Structure 1
């Protein structure tokens, strides 16, 4: 489970002790906030305060979105990079919460594209537009390799085909296990098309939640909030092939996610399990001290590999990608700093680490 933002703790009381309307709004907000972790984004205190006002019934979702947009429009000074990322987290979170709370849904490529447009309007110039260039993304879970994403020239055709196949699929008389396997297949293929240059995973997650609800599933959004980084890593593994290294696409990790979501199972969703070099034997024997050392060493490699492709990392992100506790991550940071491999900046929860 991801480490909670200090502002988020009060949300739990709404889920435990309030009426259904407040609980529904709380689930929408916690999911919206959790999904920002896919891109290492953390919303501001202002966003959390605005969310609480919405949950308490003081303002509507529309008013919450308007307040967030106005808050950043009123800033006269140019934002630095970290502030721009916070702005993106706040705006996209407020929009996800709004969309998730809405009852309307249309199973079509145009609706998927419209969701992307609503989420990233004013943030990305290409919001609501299919990408017109080919992409690759270095993944820590693949040791820096990339999934083969859909070619730009055929994105529209690929979307139309996958949606048509799913629209004509007959779920009648299927067991819940068969339904989960099929949904895993559909969502993984939808994500692999990667219709948008940025924001694809968040858009896919929102669309998936809406689609599952349209199928009659009472989706508890908590799993998306708490395992958003795992969700992305599982999608990566479901679409990665490297036969030269003996690696084939593996939907097992994503299927565990959906089994928890739709069947109420409690499969462990650890990010390190998704890594192509993860040794299941280490997991089975992790009680032994020698194996614990191996896990720490592997976690160090995961953090260093992440920093090769990203400017910095914090405790929250390190926990997500390694599956370690906050204390375990701090020990690794200390070890890597002592070895002169990384350097830390800032204090306490806001401390960041970069390659030295």
Structure 2
């Protein structure tokens, strides 16, 4: 009986083991089937994936060399609005941003004190002038007395002392008249000066332009020389650049220039108006100014700009897009597309021409140069060449994005 039970238990154990194995195998297959399906629905990047890039040709072009500089834009001309005479501000006749003409009244200073001074000076002048007829009469009388004494002396009728006394009287009368006339002249000069200062109590625009940098308030004391505002003429703009020592000999007044400002697609034509003859001791650079007509007032003083100075005649040069270049000075490189593979190529670069740059060595005319994803590419990467977006496809993409 025990043997029979043992056999039965053994058979049950084998059956249970078989069931467990079947279930385990089913789970394994189910798991792997699900994983395979997931891989089919969600493919991952594999080692043989390709990088999508845009390609442009290296082209030999006829170009005109130029030198490029960063610049700061300044007003073509600036004038300081300031007081010539001290006084308290009682009126402000402008707002910042006003366009004014030369001679426009801008600020009025208190005139009370100067009015009082002027009245006092005029009264003093009148008092001095009142004594003038008497002094002139004294000179005439003294002159007659001297003439008579001289005639009598020559006739032997009076002594030499009498003649000397008459002469002294004449000189005293003449000196008194001269002193009086000097006092009158001084008093008149004082009045003229006060009247001139009175006129300067109204501060006027020194030039045509726009009023900026307002620095004045009612009740403020304005001292001579203190800037109360600025007048800026922006009909012409000056682009100020710093020139390296080795380039200074290449730039001269009258040279043509092109000026560009960030955010503005317009190219502004200008002319070099000034080149310093002495280098800065601190930076060892020379200063040059480019005069740029600004009729539309689109160029703003204080802005940064880029100035290209045309230098030399037209030349033929191999060029590539500027955006295709990677690396740093002395170790520039590009990637070329060769049979579906990116190849890193060292290049020697020359001058920049707008959005292209000269290649002096490393490439040949017609080479396919990669212009996108260059910072993530490695030599030997598999690539696929994407067609560049045309204007039409760009607009379509923009509409889809909206």
Give the TM-score category using the shorter length.
Answer: under 0.3
**Richer in helix (by share):** 1
Max radius of gyration: which structure? 2
Higher relative contact order (CA 8 A, sep 6+): 2
